[in-house]
Structure 1
């Protein structure tokens, strides 16, 4: 698909992720709760990934729920970024501190990191409360510094965090000795490592679990393969125009992540698509059964490379999910791109052989071991590397939960809960969210850097954006 106008909307025939391959029997495929669209509703939510599903869940299960909520999805339920990610809920427990402090100040930096642990805890709470079968696992993760420059950068950040008053006791364990780091991570190139809490799960099953709860118990109307073309003010209401007709709504929620600027042009350059690639790998015997990995991972390099891969091993079936390799292709092929129907052979090759290089004694792969499949997903990045959550400036009744910077599993659940509170008329303080997430006029002003400018700046210093 070469038409740039068409690429402003999700591609109709995307690549299929491991998560989506394994759920082709889902009752939500092709789901439309009603055969036609209603004329009016209380709330329209655009997008059925984790942002849309969790916002619907917290609205409908919270106090004074709206009488009618509809989710509009251009493709199948959870067919976007959430259904294509690494299945990794991995809070940043220290690494982004200096960057957030530089951008927002110490108080907000502390709040951003605290929010990510809150999100992991809330995700576990909701999964257990609702008994959602999504292979949720909670344990720990390794940050693996693959060169000394990366190790030095992380340690400097951790020391700055502690010097500013952070108590990392029982949260972050720093391993400075390269030999010990190599032994613990099973990674011969490790120069240092950090250990901190993390979780993994089957993201599609979490989202469809939330959607099914809302449909069966709370009256949610889910309409798949329904593309929103425009949203226009209609008095004190909103007219949501789709390819199947129009809906008049009291409130509208943009949970459209990388595609937000299609409907909200003011987000052009402020919320930019980024194409990433991920894979599923059948491990060799040294990484199977009793030898499975005990932690999730991020492998990261300092300058001049300044990039990373991320990885989980699923406890239920042992399949390894490995994503990254984005330095293998020019940045122009990733930043600003929305076509998730294609894969880059250079990245596919990298993902297929990376674990032989990263992990000790990976060994020869038998037939059926190694790369099982790989796929593409479209993330949404913001210049400050934090999402937009809240009411849109000068647009009463219009709300957003988007721009999760490839890090949504560690943010969305609390963001959706907070957004639901704001939509009920509660104060920002009631959300528990960092104030820097709010899409204020000041934040949206043209004086701030675009995503492209920020990317050039950070990678010029050898820094990476979030994983």
Structure 2
């Protein structure tokens, strides 16, 4: 499972994607999508409270830091409803050296594995048949009284149902070949940084999206003072063979293997003499999209087959309400439009046939 590889940053992208979305889809559609993401912090907080799930969930201010002055000016001009800090105080407010401006917005930092294990535990106790470590190798459909019956073939046998949900993210094309060039496996890297026994360092004022030109690192501090930080794209992203179309998360991305060494000492005020060290480092597989958007809804040409995949490493403020919409489609026969899923996420024949490909090789 990729659940134990998530960085734990429930952070709606309430402004960073908006200028592009407004230009491409119009202001109303872009606002609909931003609101959809923004709801996730409160919705998931409510679920955690209602189900009494312990997962180190904390509401925080999330800092988006800019290290390039031109990028900072452009970002500041694109928003009007978040808290912006100019260069004269940006380092002091964020605690990050070299920061020339930053936003802060509302976010949360759960421990994703514990959150979703808590939810799964509730579901299993209500009768869910959960099959872990069970590779699905193919899906097929056969007509039955006018409606298809879907059969999933796995390493442990087959299972059939009238409806099937494909929530396989970067691995989707193995089961749905029509998504082969639409949802691409993309390998990322993250780390866990700890303090030596007896050492201390300041609590950070929030979580972070550290915007380096052409890349972003994401960072949050856990309740025990340790740090989870991921990204490191500046070391490898220009070379496709390090990350693109890679579905194997058993090996590190070699150019990034030491990127997080002394990360806190180099960047954060008060951490210079902390002795913080990388306790563990790992890779995980995300699902990147040719058009930058997840695919959600009934798969074109496959009645009774639904998809929710391609979350771009940004699934935490999207997936919960997407799956609420999918469950309404499956249980009540609703169309995508009849749910709260933003219209731009709907999987369509047009999107599948589109020649748009932002993932085309630039090498």
TM-score, normalised to structure 2's length?
0.93
Q: Give the structure 1 partner of residue 229 of structure 2.
A: 322
For 1:408 and 1:133, locate their aligned partners in 2 and report how far apart those are by CA, in whole Å.
20
What CA distance in whole angstroms lies between the structure 2 residues aligned with 1:309 and 1:127? 27
- Of the three residues 389, 396, 399, the one matched with 2:306 is 399
Distance across 1 between alignment mates of 2:75 and 2:283:
29
Which residue of structure 2 aligns with residue 145 of structure 1?
Answer: 66
- Does 2:165 match 1:256? no
Structure 1 residues 252 and 147: CA distance shift in structure 2, 3 A: same
Give, in whole Å, the separation in 1 of the partners of 2:197 and 2:123: 42
The residue that corresponds to 1:224 in the other structure is 132
In 2, the alpha carbon distance for the partners of 1:204 and 1:421 equals: 25
Cα deviation for residue 107 of structure 1 reads 1.6
Counterpart position of 2:211: 300
- Pairing 1:331–2:331 present: no
Alignment of 1:245-284 (within 5 A): 245-283=157-195
Cα distance in 2 for residues equivalent to 1:228 and 1:374: 28
CA distance in structure 2 between the partners assigned to 1:287 and 1:418 by the alignment: 47
SS across alignment from 2:152: strand
Instruction: Describe the shift of the 1:126–1:448 C-alpha distance in structure 2 as closer, same or farther (beyond 3 A).
Output: farther
| Cα deviation code 1:144-200 (max 9, x no counterpart) | 001112202312322xxx5xxxxx2xxx1111x212111101112011100100000
CA deviations over 1:57-116 (Å, ceiling 9, x no partner): xxxxxxxxxxxxxxxxxxxxxx22x32111110011111101112232222211111111
2:18 to 97, 118, 122: 97
Answer yes or no: is the 8 Å Cα contact 1:283–1:320 preserved in 2: no
Give the Cα–Cα distance (whole angstroms) in 1 for the partners of residues 160 and 337 of structure 2. 30
**Segments ≥4 residues shifted beyond 6 Å:** 284-287
Q: Who is 1:174 aligned against?
A: 84
Rounded Cα–Cα distance in structure 2 between residues aligned with 1:90 and 1:200: 8
Q: CA separation in 1, counterparts of 2:262 and 2:67? A: 17
For 1:429 and 1:125, locate their aligned partners in 2 and report how far apart those are by CA, in whole Å.
Answer: 25
Contact 2:40 2:320 in 1 (8 A): yes
Match of 2:329 in 1: 422
SS of the residue aligned with 2:74? helix
The number of aligned residues is 356
Match 2:104 to one of 191, 195, 208: 195
Aligned equivalent of 2:342 = 434
* Closer, same or farther: CA 388–376 of 1 in aligned 2, 3 Å: same
CA distance in 2, matches of 1:283, 1:296: 18
Residue 5 of structure 2 corresponds to which residue in structure 1?
84
Equivalent of 1:387 in 294, 311, 314: 294
Q: Secondary structure at the match of 2:39?
A: helix
Distance 2:132 2:321 in 1: 25
Q: CA deviation at 1:384?
A: 2.7
Shift in Å, 1:139: 1.8
Residue 246 of structure 1 and its aligned partner are, at CA, apart by 1.6
Q: What CA distance in whole angstroms lies between the structure 1 residues aligned with 2:93 and 2:284? A: 31
Which shifted more, 237-246 or 122-131?
Answer: 237-246
CA RMSD between the two structures: 1.9
Q: Deviations over 1:307-354 (max 9, x none)?
A: 111100012x11100101122122321011111001134312111222
1:301 CA displacement: 2.0
SS at match of 2:208: strand
**Residue 17 of structure 1 aligns with which residue?**
none
What 5-or-longer segments of structure 1 have no aligned partner? 1-78, 163-167, 461-467
**What do residues 210-257 of structure 1 show as CA deviations (whole Å, max 9, x unaligned)?**
1110111x2100111211111111111112111222222111100110
| Partners of 1:144 and 1:193 within 8 A in 2 | yes
